[in-house]
Amino acid sequence: MRRALTFGLIGAAIGWHLSLVGMLEAFAGRWLIGQSLSLSSVLLLALLFSVGYLTGRHAADGRDLATTAVPGLLLGCALWALAFLVSGVGLRHIFVAASPALPGIVTFGQGPDVGGLLLLLAIGAAVGLVGGAANWIPAAPRRVVLIALAVTVLVGLLRDVLSPLLPSVLTGLLYSPRGGLSVSGTFIVFGLTVAVPFVRAMTAAQLGGWARVRPAGTWRQRQRALRVLTVLLVMSFPLWGGIFLSNVADFVGLYILMGLGLNLVLGFAGLLDLGYVAFFAIGAYSMAILTSPELGALALGFWPGLLLAVAITVLSGILIGLPVLRMRGDYLAIATLGFGEIVRLLVLSDWLKPHLGGAQGVTRIARPEIGPLVIDRPQEYFYLILVSCGLGWFLSVRLRDSRIGRAWMAIREDEDVAQAMGINRVTAKLLAFATGASLGGLSGALFASLVNSVIPQSFSILVSINVVALLVLGGIGSLPGILVGALALVGLPELLREFQEYRLLVYGVVLVVMMIWRPAGLWPEETRVRELEEAAEEARAMAPAEMVATGQDGA
């Protein structure tokens, strides 16, 4: 019961938070199924489900199950109270998001009257119970259903993006003309995503004997087919994706490139660089100064500009790396943060304005040319960025499996021991900084050319946080994790404009929640998992002595 109350209160706090920062209202315009279910309702339902699920996590019998309705009821009451307050008292002069529309949204359209309260309580109890009961379903099918629900929500969310890409027959079948999925579309998407894993499991069971004969062969064949299909899809992306999606993909690509670069520093060598944006900025500004006719008389072409920009960034990586080499952990993070800010402030200052363009920035940056072909559309940049990402990936893989990669990981695990084992700390760390910087600089130079201008506002600390967050989400040190992180944290907000506003709020939550709940990330790297487990074991081994002592009250 105490558990139920705790989760209810936590849920209520989250519900209030979501409403008052304006997230619910922003999402209310995004319809998922016709015009009957909006994203904000789904968010509230998911919240109710989660508190019920967490309360009933160790539910043993029906009595335990009944308590899982309690947090739902509590949350319902809290939401109703909020609706009542907003409509009755009017909090607008303090909370800017407490608009007249909010009460309707949190009460599922009923408004803050008795009917609304009853509806909220009913929904709260029911969904809470469903969440609690979900604990009784075996893990595998539960996962399938949850994933299917998530996919359905995603497909509904991406209606505006997907519908121009699909053939009109399919669009008409799946999507409702008034917004979101149609009812039949909902069932089709959900049914398919549930059915596929079930069918696969059943055929695997049926063909058990046959599969044992050539399991490796078919598996490999299927893998290869999948890989070819992915490559084809990615290569042809600008052809069917159109200009908007290509633009989004370009930005995702630039962030993947930065993610790969920071991964060398943070993921492999374990050096938290919070000023990574400095390299992005140096790359972009080098490109601008070298190629734009506005500043100086250099006005180089794209390719020499790109090479020089990357070279300059590598140099700056070494320059920044040298003084901070002796620091570890948190001090390094703050010092690099300082460097990042110094770079930005210098660029913004009037002092360097004649050389760097000041607050107005620099425009007219060179476009790449290959023979007679000038690359100036996002679709064409896509290939350039794709090649760069491939290069970065190749570099990362080769470095990871090389002597220097092992040296980095040794430093990450224990710097003193690594040094005692004969690893040259100075060279290893400088190499990490230099290679990491090169990818950041490459990304910056491509960015400058893509948007054809650089302004200081594009290079704030938020870029560094963005890159750190995408690494953390995917798993620090994990290469596929970077893809996952960049797609989720850069791609999704670009596609859904109402996410833009809450992007950094979500990054903050991602960083905290991932570190507490799953520090190895969504797609973890094996050594990293092992390190974390070892640390946890050590902590556990140390704990008993302390726990005995702290058990008695003192102070």
Whichever of 161 and 511 has its CB closer to another protein, that residue is 511
Binding to another protein by residue 549, rule CB under 8 A? yes
Helix (H, G, I), strand (E, B) or coil at 343: helix
Segment lying near another protein (by CB under 8 A), choices 62-70, 237-245, 327-335, 477-485: 327-335
**Selection from 366, 376, 369, 374 nearest residue 292 by Cα:** 366
Binding to another protein by residue 101, rule CB under 8 A? no
Instruction: Name which of residues 284 to 313 contact another protein (CB under 8 A).
Output: none
* Cα(101)–Cα(172) distance, integer angstroms: 31
Binding mask 450-489 for another protein (x = CB under 8 A): -----------x---x--xx--x-----------------
Q: Give every CB contact of residue 117 below 8 A, 6+ residues apart in sequence.
A: 76, 77, 80
What phi, psi does 90 have (nearest 5°)?
A: 80, 100
Whichever of 388 and 464 has its CB closer to another protein, that residue is 464
CB of 444 closer than 8 Å to CB of 312: no
Between helices 461-474 and 237-262, what is the axis angle to 10°? 100
- Going by the DSSP 8-state scheme, the letter that residue 175 receives in this structure is B
Binding to another protein by residue 86, rule CB under 8 A? no
* Cα(367)–Cα(285) distance, integer angstroms: 15
Helix (H, G, I), strand (E, B) or coil at 486: helix
Binding to another protein by residue 350, rule CB under 8 A? yes
Binding to another protein by residue 323, rule CB under 8 A? yes
Calculate the alpha carbon distances from 35 to 180, 294, 300, 510, 525 in Å.
Answer: 7, 52, 54, 30, 42
Binding to another protein by residue 420, rule CB under 8 A? no
Segment lying near another protein (by CB under 8 A), choices 68-76, 99-107, 344-352, 434-442: 344-352
Whichever of 172 and 338 has its CB closer to another protein, that residue is 338
Instruction: Name which of residues 498 to 517 contact another protein (CB under 8 A).
Output: 502, 504-505, 507-512, 515-516
* Cα(52)–Cα(336) distance, integer angstroms: 43
Q: Phi-psi region for residue 363, left (φ > 0), alpha (ψ -120 to 50) or beta?
A: beta
Minimum distance of another protein from residue 91's CB (angstroms): 10
Biggest distance spanned by C-alpha atoms of the chain: 80
Binding to another protein by residue 66, rule CB under 8 A? no
How many chain residues touch another protein (CB under 8 A)? 70
**In the set 111, 393, 519, 529, which binds another protein (CB under 8 A)?**
519
Structure-token match 């939550």, residue found: 509
* Cα(297)–Cα(292) distance, integer angstroms: 9
Binding to another protein by residue 52, rule CB under 8 A? no
Binding to another protein by residue 355, rule CB under 8 A? no
Structure-token match 């199924």, residue found: 33
**In the set 139, 372, 539, 544, which binds another protein (CB under 8 A)?**
539
* Cα(157)–Cα(526) distance, integer angstroms: 33
Whichever of 78 and 174 has its CB closer to another protein, that residue is 78
Binding to another protein by residue 349, rule CB under 8 A? yes
- Which residues in this chain contact another protein in the complex, by CB under 8 A? 17, 20-23, 94-97, 270, 272, 274, 322-331, 333-335, 337-339, 341-342, 345-346, 348-351, 426, 461, 465, 468-469, 472, 502, 504-505, 507-512, 515-516, 519, 531-532, 535-536, 538-539, 542-543, 545-546, 549-550, 552-555
